[in-house]
Structure 1
């Protein structure tokens, strides 16, 4: 497992803590129950404990029956990890999904209900002794790490006197937007942002941000209230750790640091470079996809994938298929159907023919492959991939930059519209198919799909060159004396001092 993560071992000579006098330093983590939230947090925990033997980590897992894949991932990592424990919290009576129109509202309430269980788990950790030679000492909790939607656990940390940190797995631009929400709310007192008729001016963006690229959930009344609730609590933490690196977001990191907030630590890119290929149950399918890629020419394949929670409507699928076929290019398309409910993950099509144009699979059999789930990071690392039509989830962006694969933007959910806007308009690191797509209401027609994919694969060498250069910078940031290496070292010294 460890060999899949970039190595940048930190030296800790500045402050050496004698374990004979203190016992082990325990770090506790709790994540929103989603693959896109949990995986970056687990990799961050590994990054900390791999680079300093003083630390051990416990990750508290909130179970969500609608997402069994999360449990599959947890079981796999728990079996392989030696210095990290993944612990399922006792089940609670979940809120009724019918009460909520928005998945963030439901998940936030589900997490709040776990506060007693989290307090009990941390109390047990504090009481448990750790061995040092022949002596035993109580564990010291050096920090509790929450994510952007588990802010109710700040109360638990305060009750127990444990320093609390926010691990923010999205970019500094989106962190800046979240920190700005309470300011915006106090000035305009809006109950929702859907009627906003002017662009937002944020320190984290060079350009004004149009309302059309705000997260879909924030544009709903219930979603707005919960985003605002969480954002207000960020300032109560002792520090904010961001999965980004200064070379990628220099303006945005400076913008966040200019606000009156806790210390900000950009320590990315924190990536799971092995990806689901090491734990997903459908390994036969994965091997078939990789074997197919092995037979394709270098940089010839355009890869289309819309994230762990992304699916598109039937009419949109048909437009993509028509546009793809017109390009004549080699393609790999991770096609997934709509979820059972807004809390479930997308489904796998048993028969893709039913949603694709008549004869599409037969006509494209020589150049393309339509599949369901894929190990995205494994695909991006393959020499055959020349471009990525992406939903612009932050993990996906960091993975594509790491492997030097240019993106064509097609955001679907979460903060992806803002990410797409940043990548195209702010950083010039991606090409645009759409920036403000709204699944279910918008339709990108076949002509636009064809034009966007051709630009991605055949044109704009400047973007392709910039992506390659940023990929090199992302690796250097994690190496000794790199920007993220240095920032992580500062965080580790603070944690040891706690």
Structure 2
């Protein structure tokens, strides 16, 4: 019987793309495998990923997509945010996941079910069908450490992070101001906190966790996870650092024009801003970012999401991409003004501290290439992952 690996991402396009790139990487090591991708269909923008899925189906015949029946939320559903909505869609999709796996297993021997780290509910389905459950963490290893350690943090206090002063300490991770923890985790009374806690437990009991990072980028936290410090009450599953996963360039939708302009600019002179497929800002916040960029006098390339609903949404507190290099000062509701944007962009591009950051980025670029090269750390980890399916 032909062998297969089933991948199950969450609905947003960013998670789907990352999971597909994982599938391509797996095929590079085991080209005879069949990759099957389960697509949960939410009650919003159900066809948003259709063009991408069609393009992958045409270019990579070994990857087959299975769209699960669309989920209709019952009138009694009371979801407060996007994370809770995603968890509810995944919960209601669970019977369809079971049926899809049973159907696939009639023609293929399923070596593993690799799920997005959101999908705690899929763990039991895999166990019931005697399929090895793996999780794919699309974020950094530091984020994975926080998720693993979440149940331990919950036992240390009865307070929510939003009500705490001081710092949160996670093994291998620099101290995090409690109020800067990920927004869905700030209030332990909310459903999202409960769901992420369940995800942490499911991941710790899985056959392994695949993460989109590489050893040279986060050596301290990867070592802490590997030594079991983030799951002190039980065994830590194997961690496979196989990143960075890089999608091939899509020359459509104006990208070719952007790249042509970028190639004409001096080397290392352009600030790039991208807040992900779910990064929505208020009209006022967009205006402040734009004004700050213009005032900085720096060249910039900014990916701005066009919200089909016409409603730009609310300001997002976790300005994580902007905080990577230099810290941002924001108001209590997460609003960042133009002066702050201008100052931080100038600091990054003109100051001595910014120069150090840019030099580190250049070094990590080289380390990433080395990790993906022949005999590099990520290739070795991917080979270990594939080998684990044979036992």
Shared fold (TM-score, shorter chain, > 0.5):
yes
Give, in angstroms, the shift of residue 58 of structure 1: 0.3
Residue 466, structure 1, aligned to residue 360, structure 2: yes
Q: Between the two structures, name the one with larger relative contact order (CA 8 Å, sep ≥ 6).
A: 1
Residue matched to 2:236? 261
Residue matched to 2:134? 165
Q: 1:76 aligns with which of 55, 61, 69?
A: 55
Residue matched to 1:45? 23
Secondary structure of the corresponding residue to residue 32 of structure 1: coil
Residue matched to 1:308? 277
Which string of whole-angstrom CA distances, capped at 9 and with x for unpartnered residues, describes residues 40-99 of structure 1?
Answer: 111101100121134221001111242332222222212222111111112233345961
Give, in angstroms, the shift of residue 454 of structure 1: 1.5
Question: Taking structure 1 as reference, are residues 152 and 184 closer, same or farther at Cα in structure 2, changes over 3 Å only?
Answer: same
Question: Taking structure 1 as reference, are residues 307 and 97 closer, same or farther at Cα in structure 2, changes over 3 Å only?
Answer: farther
Which string of whole-angstrom CA distances, capped at 9 and with x for unpartnered residues, describes residues 195-232 of structure 1?
Answer: 12231221121x32211320111113232122112212
Q: 1:431 aligns with which of 316, 326, 330?
A: 326
Residue matched to 2:293? 324
Which string of whole-angstrom CA distances, capped at 9 and with x for unpartnered residues, describes residues 81-137 of structure 1?
Answer: 211111111223334596111221111121111122111111122111xxxxxxxxx
What runs of 5+ residues in structure 2 fail to find an aligned partner?
229-234
Which stretch of the first structure deviates more once superposed, 229-238 or 96-105?
Answer: 96-105
Q: In 2, distance between residues paired with 1:193 and 1:432?
A: 20
Q: In 1, distance between residues paired with 2:316 and 2:215?
A: 26
Secondary structure of the corresponding residue to residue 326 of structure 2: strand
Residue matched to 1:118? 97
Residue matched to 2:178? 211
Which string of whole-angstrom CA distances, capped at 9 and with x for unpartnered residues, describes residues 428-483 of structure 1?
Answer: xx23345xx58x92332222222211222223322222211110111111122211
Equivalent residues, number? 379
Question: Taking structure 1 as reference, are residues 209 and 432 closer, same or farther at Cα in structure 2, changes over 3 Å only?
Answer: closer
Residue matched to 2:44? 66
Question: Taking structure 1 as reference, are residues 413 and 175 closer, same or farther at Cα in structure 2, changes over 3 Å only?
Answer: farther
Residue matched to 2:232? none
TM-score w.r.t. the length of structure 2 is 0.88
Q: In 1, distance between residues paired with 2:348 and 2:294?
A: 15
Residue matched to 1:493? 387
Q: In 1, distance between residues paired with 2:151 and 2:381?
A: 27
RMSD: 2.6
Residue 483, structure 1, aligned to residue 386, structure 2: no
TM-score w.r.t. the length of structure 1 is 0.70
